[in-house]
Amino acid sequence: MKFFTCFFVLLITFPFLSFSQRNIDAIVDTVETPEGPAILYKNFTWEYLQDEPVMLSQEDDSTGLFTVQWVNDQIFAYRLKPDSIRDTVINLNNNGRIFTLPVYGKLFRGFMYTHKGLDIKLDKGDTIKAAFDGVVRYARYNRGGFGNLIILRHYNGLETYYAHLSKMLIKVNQVVKSGDPIALGGSTGRSRGPHLHFEVRYKDIPLDPLRMIDYDNQKLISNVLPVTKKVFYPNDYDVNAVIVKIKKGDTIGKLAKKYHTSVKEICAMNKIKPNTTLRIGRSIRVR
């Protein structure tokens, strides 16, 4: 009877708070019980975590990664632009944590101005794995084209996106390890066939996963990733940009064919329309 009385008091005091909304200073400890992990509070009440993660250690969340800008109902949490990012170095092998390629298959679409990640071919039902250790920030159906989408936030500050899934095997606020099965591949959302759309973002800003991943060997290129404005693409700082001057007879279609890209891509990079007249001598970005 005493247990249920205290539990009822807890529900009134802490009515269904998300992990990020709790007052961390009021927590004494987390313990395992027959009903699952529970939080113990200083006022002698407790609360079951259910599908939420056990309280992260001070070492794991010393920077507030899993409390600051921690939202479960929207894709973008930071809404920053490359201009606002300060130069830093991201430790990809943070405290010995490993990297796992989510799934290995044919890469049939890469990172472009109009495409913020990698498209990896797979069969429906193939297992998708977590790239790094982290916590599930988002796991739901997205009507914007991603279909079933999972977003993991990692201890190195990056977030990884896994889209077009047929089934999600994890829930928001769940702690995962690199290599853990998190979903089954599929073709939900805006998709023309089974594949994984995989993104890597730093504070919502996409960067090319192949800057950090040796894809064919399924490992990291380096244990560290220097982050400056130039690593973010698409943007005006991209060091690999190809700029050409318009000559007589040039059209957007001809340029797209010559530089192995698309009309849509060139238009997006230059903020023009497909029927825009190209003036001779004008500089235009084609890659």
* Structural domains of the chain, with CATH: 2-48 (no CATH), 82-226 (2.70.70.10), 243-285 (3.10.350.10)
| Cβ neighbour number for residue 176 with a 10 Å cutoff | 22
CB 201 within 8 A of CB 159: yes
Each residue's pLDDT tens digit, 212-240 = 999 999 999 999 988 877 677 555 545 56
Percent of the chain residues past pLDDT 90, beyond the cut: 39
pTM of the model: 0.71
Query: Is a pLDDT exceeding 50 seen at residue 205?
Result: yes
SS3 184: strand
Q: How confident is the model at residue 198 (pLDDT cuts 50, 70, 90)?
A: very high
Each residue's pLDDT tens digit, 115-138 = 889 999 999 999 999 999 999 999
